[in-house]
A and B are shown apart, each in its own frame.
Chain A
């Protein structure tokens, strides 16, 4: 192999590795599945597990939120699919909302999930076609979660007047 060829291979390898590092620092993947999923999503080759999503959807509408999240996580391990992330965020909202209080930890996780959904959705717009939900857009859900987090205290008797948006 000629000297020029070896040097060209070395340069290409270095450029690819550097681009990979820049990508890791900008996308902050948490797991190997997230990293590979985000890469495949970049080239449009990422697909959710439809069976797992259907399971999660069924659990969600039976108010089994923890089970629903497990199934949704299985369906979208790389956290790249807006609709699945929307339902995960909604499950945190529904579980964290109480008559007299809001669970800010769950709401914060919900906000993280809806932010992932908005980031992954084309143009940042996410709307789900689900007649059983009162909030069908990512913007509504995000606003509701942010309002819950920004409330002064977790325990607030005035929230008794507020209705949960199912």
Chain B
């Protein structure tokens, strides 16, 4: 990772996501603070990314770097965590049954990804699919159901969900610009994740060798 990326581009990109993730536009502009569930999901995502080698904290912080370099590395990790929290804040529905359902679904999906221990490329793809599908659910499906007038999508969904009380599904309607802002925030977040330094293929082997060497000298 180049110095410019580590010091300026990646932290500022993640901070942009942090700012935009909670933005909701209705009759007024509201910056929604993240729910506790978003923090839990962000911790899980961080675990997924580290475990699967999509980000290597040991390349951002290690004893051979100067304190200032390590501080820069820590800043990248902290801004990435803040952006993850806000990315989840952006796609989790605001209230009711959909909120509970999406939080549980994301929790299970992330746990499943940790258990599967797949490689960097697959983890990034999986993160894109998880966030993308939550985005579609919130800003297209639920937004259509919550629309006061109701378009063709609402009629189709109503027919499909026959017998379900809409009161448990409908959300507070937002201006369309909220969806666009959220889309940009998610795209920036995924772009930022792709810029993070991945684990080297030889990293784990080197770690094992170092441990063996240390064990041998005792």
Contacts and interface: CB of A to CB of B under 8 A. Distances in A.
B68 interface: yes
B71 A14 contact: no
A21 B7 contact: no
B8 interface: yes
B12 A4 contact: no
Interface stretch (B25-33, B41-49, B171-179): B25-33
B11 interface: yes
B75 A14 contact: yes
B69 A7 contact: yes
Interface in A128-147: none
B11 to A, nearest CB: 5
B31 A4 contact: no
B93 interface: no
B31 A6 contact: no
B177 to A, nearest CB: 15
B145 to A, nearest CB: 27
B60 to A, nearest CB: 13
B72 A7 contact: yes
B8 to A, nearest CB: 5
Contacts of B12: 13-14, 17
Contact of B11 (A14, A29, A30): A14
Contact of B15 (A6, A14, A28, A29): A14
Interface in A6-56: 6-11, 13-14, 17-18, 21, 24-25, 28-30
B19 interface: yes
B75 A11 contact: yes
A25 B18 CA distance: 10
Contacts of B15: 14, 17-18, 21
A73 to B, nearest CB: 15
Contacts of A28: 29-31
Contacts, number: 51
A39 to B, nearest CB: 16
Nearest to A20: B19
Given A3-B3, A21-B18, A21-B19, A10 B31 contact: no
Nearest to B15: A17
Nearest to A4: B68
A7 B29 contact: no
A14 B19 CA distance: 13
Contact of B7 (A7, A18, A29): A7
A68 to B, nearest CB: 22
Interface of A: 3-4, 6-11, 13-14, 17-18, 21, 24-25, 28-30
Interface of B: 3, 6-8, 11-12, 15, 18-19, 22, 28-31, 33, 66, 68-69, 71-72, 75, 79, 82
Given A6-B7, A7-B7, 17 more contacts: A3-B3, A4-B66, A7-B3, A7-B71, A10-B11, A10-B72, A11-B75, A13-B8, A13-B12, A14-B15, A17-B12, A18-B15, A18-B79, A24-B19, A24-B31, A28-B31, A29-B29
The 3 closest A-B pairs by CB, nearest first: A10-B7, A14-B11, A25-B31
25 contacts: A4-B68, A6-B7, A7-B3, A7-B7, A7-B71, A10-B6, A10-B7, A10-B11, A11-B72, A13-B8, A14-B11, A14-B12, A14-B15, A14-B79, A17-B15, A18-B15, A18-B18, A18-B82, A21-B18, A24-B31, A25-B22, A28-B29, A28-B31, A29-B29, A30-B29
